Amino acid sequence: MVVIPSTLMGDGAAQSKRIPLTQLARGQRAMIDSESLNTLAEADRCLLRAMGIHESCELKVCKAGAPCIIEVERTRVGLCGSVASKVFVKPCDGCPAA
């Protein structure tokens, strides 16, 4: 799937409120807040980035709660509650919960 980063599509997301990933509902889309991953341990942060979950990337919540399952591009990643609660995101406007 060709994913155009939301930063190139206008900045509706940037105006959204910054919330932990755990507060997103199933089906909701959001962008990882810049600097948000810095609160994680370095090994986890680097691993997430290598998996494609980096600052400003757009994600979809496949399963809310703990574990939280998100989808970025074609990658699905499960995050335990302790990690998901430290990742802050900005919900994308116009992408309501499924």
Partner 1 sequence: MAAQQPDELEALRVYSTERPPRAALLGQPNTGKTTLFNRLCGSRARTANIPGTTVESRVGLAATTHGALEIMDLPGIYGLSLEVPESKLCRDCLDGRIGDVAPDVAVIIADATNFSRSLRFASHALRRKMPCVIAITLADDARRKGFSVNAAALSECLGCPVVITSGRTGEGVDELADAALRAALHGISLESFERRLNHLPSSSVSESDLAKWANDVLVEVASGRLAAASSVSDRVDRALTHPVSGLATFILVMSVLFASIFWLAQFPMNGLDLIFGTSGDWLRAVMPAGPLRDLCVDGIIGGVAGTVVFLPQICLLFFLLSLLEDSGYLARAAFAADKFLRRFGLPGQAFVPLLSSHACALPGIMSTRLIPDPKDRLATILVAPFMSCTARLPVYVLLISLLFAGRPWLAGLAFVGCYATGAIAGLFSAFLVRRTLLKGPARPMLLEMPPYRRPSVRIALWVMYDRGVLFIKNAGSMILAICVVMWWLSAYPKVAPSPELLQMRAQTSEVALQANANPEQVQALESAVNLLESREQQLGSMAGKIGLIAEPLFQPLGFDHQLTVAVLTSFLAREVFVSTLMIISSTDANDEASLLDRITHNRRSDGTLLFTIPTAASLLVFFTLAMQCLPTLALVRRETQSWKWPLLQFAWMSGLAWSMAWIVRQALLTGGF
Q: How far apart are CA 34 and CA 45, in angstroms?
A: 12
Report the residue from 14, 63, 93, 95 that binds partner 1 according to the rule CB under 8 A. 63
What's the CA gap between 71 and 66, in Å, rounded?
Answer: 15
Short-list 96, 94, 95, 93, CA closest to 15: 93
- Name the one range near partner 1 by CB under 8 A: 5-13, 15-23, 89-97: 5-13
How many whole angstroms separate alpha carbon 43 and alpha carbon 77? 16
Minimum gap (Å) between residue 17 Cβ and partner 1: 21
Site residues for partner 1, 13-32, by CB under 8 A, read 26
Contacts of 49 (CB under 8 A, 6+ apart): 37
Binding residue (CB under 8 A) for partner 1 from 10, 15, 17, 42: 42
User: Which residues in this chain contact partner 1 in the complex, by CB under 8 A?
Assistant: 1-5, 7-8, 26, 42-44, 46-52, 54-57, 60, 62-63, 66-67, 69, 71, 73-80, 82-83
